[in-house]
Amino acid sequence: MKRIAILLWALLLVVGCKKEEHPAPPATEQTLLMYLPWSDNLTSFFLTNIEDMKRVIEQGIPEHCRVLVYFMSSSTDGRLFEIYDRKGIVCERDLATYKNIAFTTAEGIGEVLKDVKRLAPAKRYAMTIGSHGMAWLPAHPGQSLSASGSMLTSDGTPEREYWEHTAADGLPLTRWFGGQSQNHRCDIASLATALQESELHMEYILFDNCYMSSIEVAYDLRQVADYLIASPCEIMNYGFPYAEVGGKMIGTPDYPAICDGFVEFYNHYTYYNEAYPYGNIAAIKCSEIEPLAALMKQINAAATHAVDLQTIQSFDYLSQHRFFDLGDYVAHYSADEALKAAFAAQLERMIPSTHRGHTPKFYSSGYIFPMRSFSGISTSDPSLNSACAEKKQTAWWKATH
């Protein structure tokens, strides 16, 4: 009898989620897209992220809001589907499939975005992006690379990336904008172009990736989103705790609650019964980025002394750091007290203290470091690391020097 009951329940579940043919509404209030491109070893964690968002939908989301997922099960195959509640059962509705899509290009991303706009029209759009991440660094850098694709240090030895540490040492994974290999990575400028050409302005873009709260990234995306939600550090393999904070993302976004929920989750995070209480997050208001750039340009023009990089809060384990806390950098770099105060005030407008949070320590490639200063966003401006050699080509550098 128990087996029959289970079979009947499974049959009802299949019937309950049977594909429906009724048309989508002309325009809903909000469409949230979970964008999960091929990212090699993160696939199983993406599936967990989707299941966690299903739990949010099961608990109830605001009316006239839709949640779409773009998921790549391989480097060639993509699927766009909707997750929704139908009489208490969370179902999936297929919307489109993709074969051999150029998912690292503006054209490939734009193809998906245009389908989202056509199949789930809305007054407002939002987007989460799950993958590995390396802030603004080029997907195809001009610097010398090792056979594994890593940067070479000054003595010619490979500089191990964070995913190479986890694979080699049995440490928990953390999250590139794209995959581990160069041909699976996407430049930030390509994302911005795809959004512009698709005529999709995002209410927010949430980067579920390492190191993406970067002023160089934010400057590139300042015109295609109202807010960016991201971490200046590595994000653990589990990614964003959608089950806990997804309800704050759908409908009217509650940015302080999203940040608080993220930090609270990671304060208690464990991986195989080991505690990994490391998580840092910020919600960046894009309309305040250009005024910050104008002040940074004045600071750079007035600067008269070099900075001891060892005194600045960094966010990576490398001896020659790639990413420094922007607020702490300017505090050490500028000798003009008036400019320094103006920059700090503008930075607070861009990332209010209510819109950022961090655990006492942060994680990088198996190493643990104290968080001494946290403005919520990084910069590579003072970096001497060879991987950052192309920083002068970024729009942020050109706007501020």
- Cα separation, 81 vs 121, in Å, equals 14
Cβ pair 36, 71 in contact under 8 A? yes
- Residue 3 has what pLDDT? 43
Residue whose tokens read 């976004």: 253
Cβ pair 311, 289 in contact under 8 A? no
Say whether pLDDT at 364 is over 90: yes
Every domain of the chain and the residues it spans = 25-400
User: Percent of the chain at pLDDT above 70?
Assistant: 82
Beta strands in 140-224 (DSSP E): 202-208
pLDDT digits 0-9 by tens, 280-312: 999 999 999 999 999 999 999 998 778 999 999
Q: Which of 144-158, 183-197, 265-279 has the lowest mean pLDDT?
A: 144-158
- Identify the helix (H) or strand (E) that includes residue 264: helix 255-267
For 260, the token pair is 């608080």
Say whether pLDDT at 4 is over 60: no
pLDDT digits 0-9 by tens, 48-86: 999 999 999 999 999 999 999 999 988 889 999 999 999
Q: Calculate the average pLDDT of the chain.
A: 86
Closest CA to 312 of 299, 290, 327: 327
